[in-house]
């Protein structure tokens, strides 16, 4: 995880519509930047749908939500459409942002060790500085937790 107080690394990745997006385009707003392993899996779906349900409350507090995974633009588009997700999903198959934000780690699953995205969430302030960082978050609880961090 990156340290609190660190300038958030900028990124340039395509969203679910294929449009290149940068973190710097959201200066002046708080950004919830969350990294997740894979579209359409149970935990990731639960997390995304919860962020979607709470999205109006995030907007009321001047924050936007951006999800990042290694999935393709097409996969993100299907994920967005199937669940009506109202926020940006960024495609990072080359792991540029995933590695810049230090969320590509060794993971153990049923005794098997592999490398993968550790579910992590950053809160970035209006000036592009990381003010909160959470690693190994619980998919179901993370959206409400992040809304609480904006209080």
Active site residue 49: no
Unique residue bearing structure tokens 């990156």: 2
DSSP E strands, the chain: 12-14, 20-22, 30-35, 63-69, 88-91, 104-109, 112-117, 120-124, 130-135
Bridge pairing between strands 130-135 and 120-124: antiparallel
Q: 31, 44, 89, 97: which is the annotated catalytic residue? A: 44
Unique residue bearing structure tokens 């809304």: 147
DSSP assignment of 42-85 equals HHHHHHHHHHHHHHHHHHHTTEEEEEEES--HHHHHHHHHHHT-
Which of 149, 143, 24, 8 lies closest to 86, judged by CA?
143
- Rounded to whole angstroms, the Cα distance separating 106 from 49 reads 26
Q: Which residues are catalytic?
A: 44
């Amino acid at each position: 995880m990156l340290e609190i107080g660190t300038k958030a690394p900028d990124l340039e990745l395509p969203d679910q519509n294929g449009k290149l997006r940068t973190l710097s385009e959201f200066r002046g707003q708080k950004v919830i930047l969350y990294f997740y392993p894979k579209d359409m899996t149970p935990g990731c779906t639960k997390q995304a749908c919860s962020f979607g349900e709470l999205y109006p409350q995030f907007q009321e507090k001047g924050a936007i939500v951006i999800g990042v995974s290694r999935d393709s633009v097409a996969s993100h588009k299907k994920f967005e459409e199937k669940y009506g997700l109202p926020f940006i999903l960024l495609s990072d198959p080359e792991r540029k942002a995933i590695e810049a934000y230090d969320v590509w780690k060794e993971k153990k699953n049923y005794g098997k060790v592999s490398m993968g995205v550790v579910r992590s969430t950053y809160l970035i302030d209006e000036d592009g500085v990381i003010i909160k960082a959470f690693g190994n978050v619980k998919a179901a609880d993370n959206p409400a937790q992040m809304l609480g961090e904006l209080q």
